[in-house]
Structure 1
């Protein structure tokens, strides 16, 4: 830290990335991830978490179960993994810009993640308890400490973060440990949250969200709860850090053979794992058994395997498709929402909770997976149109602009500079007619 300070004494501060300096591949990836996130978050908006502990499927119709399975295969764990990958990669971009300008990275980065943590905490408490932003902010501190780590250390940490949940599950299974909560706890929570979010008051809903977070973080001390979520996110965040340090996504054309090879290996293995855990989840025993089971162990293992593999496969596939004219025409539609990821992520929660919670339309518990998927796609389609409209006039999304202002300590220019139209020459004949 002292070395960084001495080398950059008097260096000019970093400034926000201008729109024309952005990598369109990263914006398309963010847009694709936003689509996957709203699709997979929809059950979290519309039904309580404990719904899967009930004696039978809450939405038993074949089309709802089919929609649940398809969306799980395509998006479950993949969308937030792409975001966490890009978060890790983003640190390397900031490092490269800091080194090029001679500016100090650490103070800027710490302010950036501090603002992100506060935004995420507010989102989790006042709007929806499925927030991931505060998780990124906490892990971002570890990422900063590892920014100059060797490749061997990075991959060693990836292996530990990936294997630790499997080892913990194996220990619990072999010792037949009692679960942290009996199934009756989750059933009671499901019924209570159904009441609170469908007919309860806003203050009750805040209380319910705080109770969920308090329980999830308290479980860390006994080897359960949020610790495994953090490790899962850290795997793909570290993969992004490695990819950014190697500049793997900066010149796709030069790395086509390697990207194709990575695509087919990760896609084939990832799809197999994704189909496996999705089918195991869909056809799980009813009522769900108490405690640790081999069935649950293999379902969770396949989910953990599928997450980084399909994250890599999707990134590789989108990078390759953007090398073709047809791929550009289709995928660049996702770039506009991807340029305003914070704004779109939070407005997804605002729109969805307004539709489902008691202070809005009160659809909580009434929308099945098929209709929920349609609503999610409709919300994202509106965001595509809205983002294009906004970015035709402004340099940043509204929340991105505020985030930059808080990070850099000054207001970046917001409105796009309007180039005046060149005067049309008028011929003497036309002027006299």
Structure 2
């Protein structure tokens, strides 16, 4: 059953990468801030509504949950070998942050790896804590985050000051031109030097940076808690729980996000999107697990698992493929494909990744970036965890006798 549990988690990771790709296509096509200023009609308007309600903001939290889950499972494996957990994680998170920095600097502004690497150091505070302690902190931070959102909604009242949180029109116009027509050097310079927050007070930027880790911490911790209690280790036996979670959370999350998109923007509708997106993410986790119990041997599930096993490599390849398609130094389709075309492209790219990942795993055990990360984490050329020296010495002595 342990193998099935691992396959289920890999499948969920593949699912999250699919949703992340579809959501990120809005950024690839229109820029981080330009995607909020679209004027669409017809099928593109419908595709945009679908993306906003069913996809955007509800697949990254799945990846967040799985990050915490995998962290605990890795820690358990290290402890079984008698190794110091935090030392290995510190190296792992350092390299992850470096990869994220390089990704954001040289390829694309939508990177998440730098944030995940830095959050990993925060999560080290919990890796050796009791299971109950992790759950209590997850709940406390959820309550704290929800309280902040409710207070913000109350103060905003009927008019949410959206303009304070948006990039300036001049920045968006310049970005559209540079990304569509610029060379690699021009795009890189604009990405790393232009200031999208010239209309935003410095104090507000600082507050957002401080609150971001607090707002995302609960799902990391709930993932750690789920791993501690071995949730998802017996999919067939847990099927009823998956079904209940799906039936309750998916409709609620969709309804909350749909109201945000359809109703006039106020502080209270902002609360709906802030709460609805992670609720839908958890609903998707249960839904995928439920479907997994029915179709675990299907081609589709195997495809999700293959992509999930190569998650770091596939995430980076999504950036390489999409920036090449949309940016001026590639095909130059920035802002030209439409949101409906973007969804179709995303589906095509993901099918390509499923196929390539399946073929790759028939010959290799790990992806290239996954292997480099393991080499650095374990300080070994073959990527394997080195046995503890005193244990290795005892084994040699035992064989000698």
Q: TM-score, normalised by structure 1?
A: 0.80
* Aligned-partner Cα distance in 1 for 2:259–2:159: 24
The reply on whether 1:76 has 2:56 as its aligned counterpart is yes
Comparing 300-309 with 376-385, which one deviates more in the overlay? 300-309
1:393 equivalent to 2:359? Answer no
Distance 1:212 1:33, change over 3 A: farther
Partner in structure 1 of residue 100 of structure 2: 120
Query: Which residue number in structure 1 is paired with residue 148 of structure 2?
Result: 164
- Give the match for residue 8 of structure 1: none
Counterpart residue number, 2:389: none
- Find out whether 1:370 has 2:340 as its counterpart: yes
Q: Where do 4+ consecutive residues of structure 1 move more than 6 Å?
A: 19-22, 175-180
Deviation at 1:412, TM superposition (A): 2.5
Q: Aligned partners of 1:189, 1:101: CA distance in 2, in Å?
A: 53
Displacement of 1:227 in angstroms is 4.0
Bigger drift between 255-264 and 236-245 goes to: 255-264
Query: Is the aligned partner of 1:152 residue 2:122?
Result: no
Partner of 1:430: none
Give the secondary-structure state (helix, strand or coil) at the position aligned to 2:363: coil
Taking the TM superposition and a 5 Å limit, the aligned residue runs for 1:26-425 are: 26-51=9-34, 54=37, 57-58=38-39, 60-147=40-127, 148=129, 150=133, 151-171=135-155, 173=156, 181=164, 186-211=168-193, 215=197, 219=202, 224-280=207-263, 295-325=265-295, 328-412=298-382
Q: Distance in 2 between matches of 1:405 and 1:40?
A: 31
Q: Find the counterpart in structure 1 of residue 398 from structure 2.
A: none
Q: Answer yes or no: is the 8 Å Cα contact 1:354–1:361 preserved in 2.
A: yes
Residues of 1 paired with 2:165 and 2:16: CA distance?
34
Structure 2 CA distance for partners of 1:277 and 1:214, relative to 1, 3 Å: closer
Q: Which ranges in structure 1 are unaligned for 5 or more consecutive residues?
A: 1-18, 285-294, 415-433
Q: Higher Cα Rg: structure 1 or 2?
A: 1
What are structure 2's unaligned runs of at least 5 residues?
385-401
CA distance in 2, matches of 1:323, 1:222: 44
Query: For 2:59, what is the secondary structure of its paired residue?
Result: helix
Contact 2:160–2:267 under 8 Å retained in 1? no
TM-score, scaled to structure 2:
0.85
Query: 1:429 is matched with which residue?
Result: none
Displacement of 1:265: 1.8
